[in-house]
Structure 1
Amino acid sequence: MTSTFTGPPGEAPSAGAAPAAVSAIDVAKVYGTGDAAVHALRGVTVGFAGGAFTAIMGPSGSGKSTLMHCLAGLDTVSGGRVLLGDADLTRLGDRRLTLLRRERVGFVFQAFNLLPTLTAEENILLPLRMAGRKPERAWFDQVVDVVGLRDRLHHRPSELSGGQQQRVACARALVSRPDVIFADEPTGNLDSSSGAEVLGFLRTSVREMGQTIVMVTHDPVAASYADRVVFLRDGLVVGELTEPTAATVLDRLKHLGG
């Protein structure tokens, strides 16, 4: 299994540990001011190794979605730093941050966010075309075969099941070869069978294609597909599990109150 560095700022990874693809260093996030201030993150330091599948979990209000949004450059931090490889997101202006997200980050959300008038293939290739980039055909073919969409490429979203639509969204995130894919409750709108299909693909993309995935989920079964689970409570990292099972994740959540 891929090892993961989560040590304090400035500390070198131990021998054999994979370098962090994305990391938070003493990250704080405050919404509002004065008595109305909400401290969503309270000095979070955590790294996510390249080529690994990590789930972020915690009770409602623990800060898990806020952390993901800060790591992905979708939200600004109130303090600390976010590093995507060697790029410090906290020092980038809006334009450079937009370009970095387009070129180095992929997203999969609970809502499939497919354009209904486009075919599956056109939806997959849309981000590349918006960026003025030509697809690498061999890579596109590999992604399509891994997600099992070869016979659905010319179908529109209305002609696809929920699981197939989410697999299109996963392929769209993967086709640009991003440094990291962030998945926010990717199985939240799916039944258990379709959810298992999508999670199986995400795990395969890590193990066979070297992808890095950071997923927010509330579901212990979904988290059991990951290599590692990071737990938050009250805006702080309070623990982690490696080689998780649904049972061990559920037991940890019970102790966290979520």
Structure 2
Amino acid sequence: MHAHTTTEPAAVPAITARGVTKVYGTGETTVHALGGVDVDFGRERFTAIMGPSGSGKSTLMHCLAGLDTVSGGQVFLGDTELTKLGDTELTELRRERIGFVFQAFNLLPVLTARENMLLPMKLAGSEPSPEWMDEVIGKLGLSKRLDHLPHELSGGQQQRVAVARALLPQPDVIFADEPTGNLDSRSGTEVLGLLRTSVRETGQTVVMVTHDPVAASYADRVVLIADGRIAGEIDHPTVDSVIGAMRALGADDLADVPAVSGALR
């Protein structure tokens, strides 16, 4: 797997935001989505970003992932400053160094599970080692599903294909945006477990946006955002500590916790 032999690079976070602002619109319609965000995301850690609706959590993730431009400030992926790159360089960097798992599985309906999970690497002109491919497929329990089309798979299986697609290129960071949003609690639990396993066993770095306290409890750390600013963080989060912190921020859109808390761990 990822054998980290050097000791010093670990000091450089996987992602760093410094003074990041994001403004939409002009004049009276101006919206300050992010108001000067400073935050680091450590390597080989699973971090959740949480905040009330409209707090700026998705905007922050899009800026960190190079999917959206910042209005001010800097974003670094390791030592690379994203905020200095042009469109072509950004596209290349996202393809080679960043993985994505979205609420919508974004699988191509005419491609098999195997073809879908290999597509980004194929577009980049590379392929995973057979050992890594076998390991990812085995961990995700997809060995018997590789030749199935998306419509022949359950929602949970489709999301596992999406997770495999993100893991196979061994990116610096995987961004997960509400990855369990379209799944029942059992499938959601499986996907969260897989993300956590990928961090602990393969040294992956995962940053997940969620509004679900149960999903957040799988992370090593929760970064709280409110009104476009960092509002605190929770180390070793539990469902209860996350609910308490979110209520303190005035969140009224917490996921229906009792329905899923039975699925914990």
Aligned to 1:193: 186
SS class of match (1:229): strand
* 1:21 partner amino acid: A
1:54 has 2:47 as partner: yes
Where in structure 2 are the equivalents of 1:128-167 lying within 5 Å?
128-167=121-160
1:72 has 2:65 as partner: yes
Where in structure 2 are the equivalents of 1:19-38 lying within 5 Å?
19-38=12-31
Aligned to 1:44: 37
Report deviation, 1:142.
Answer: 1.1
State the alpha-carbon separation in 2 of the partners of residues 157 and 184 from structure 1.
20
Aligned to 1:231: 224
Provide the identity percentage: 68
Report deviation, 1:92.
Answer: 0.5
**Per-residue deviation, residues 49-88 of structure 1 (Å, max 9, x unmatched):** 0100000000011000000000000000000000001110
* 2:193 partner amino acid: G
Where in structure 2 are the equivalents of 1:199-210 lying within 5 Å?
199-210=192-203
Report deviation, 1:135.
Answer: 2.4
SS class of match (2:14): strand
State the alpha-carbon separation in 2 of the partners of residues 211 and 73 from structure 1.
19
Greater shift, 166-175 or 125-134, is seen at: 125-134
Measured on the aligned residues, the alpha-carbon RMSD in Å equals: 1.3
Report deviation, 1:226.
Answer: 0.2
State the alpha-carbon separation in 1 of the partners of residues 128 and 190 from structure 2.
25
**Per-residue deviation, residues 203-246 of structure 1 (Å, max 9, x unmatched):** 00000000000000000000000000000000000100010011
SS class of match (1:41): strand
Aligned to 2:245: 252
**Per-residue deviation, residues 29-53 of structure 1 (Å, max 9, x unmatched):** 0001122110000000000001000
* 1:132 partner amino acid: G
Where in structure 2 are the equivalents of 1:116-131 lying within 5 Å?
116-131=109-124
- 2:166 is aligned, of 149, 157, 173, to 173
Aligned to 1:216: 209
* 2:124 partner amino acid: A
Give unpaired runs (5+ residues) of structure 2: 1-7, 252-265
Give unpaired runs (5+ residues) of structure 1: 1-14
Aligned to 2:4: none
- List structure 1 runs of 4+ shifted beyond 2 angstroms: none
Task: State the TM-score, normalizing by the size of structure 2.
Answer: 0.90
1:88 has 2:84 as partner: no
SS class of match (2:176): strand
